[in-house]
Structures are given as C-alpha cells and as structure tokens.
C-alpha cells in the first residue's frame, strides 16, 4: 500500500456491528465479518 492511500481500522469501521453498508456509484454493497473473522463484500 502506498503512503498516500487512506487506511481505516476495521474496528473503527464496524464498531459493534458485523456488517457495514457502503454506497458506491448509487449501488449499496454490504461488507461483512464472517464467523472465521474474514471480510466478504457483496452487492
């Protein structure tokens, strides 16, 4: 990752939740933490 790219800790992003809704170009994506503590992004 380049130094000019933004970083955000997933704990900050998710807080107490297991999912985050992300709007990109008008479409809603769901970023989810799995039971295995992995991330999955779905539309």
Instruction: Write the DSSP symbol of residue 16.
Output: T
Ramachandran angles phi, psi of 38, nearest 5°:
-110, 165
Please, what are the domains in the chain? Answer: 10-42 (2.10.70.10)
User: Is residue 4 scored above 90 in pLDDT?
Assistant: no
What is the rounded average pLDDT of the residues 4-33? Answer: 95
CA 10/CA 3 separation, integer angstroms: 18
User: Is residue 1 scored above 70 in pLDDT?
Assistant: no
What is the rounded average pLDDT of the residues 13-24? Answer: 97
Q: Whole-model pTM?
A: 0.81
What is the rounded average pLDDT of the residues 11-29? Answer: 97
């Amino acid at each position: 990752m380049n130094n000019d790219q933004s970083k955000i800790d997933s704990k900050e992003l998710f807080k107490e939740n297991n999912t985050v809704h992300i709007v990109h170009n008008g479409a809603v994506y769901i970023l989810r933490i799995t039971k295995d503590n992995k991330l999955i992004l779905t539309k």
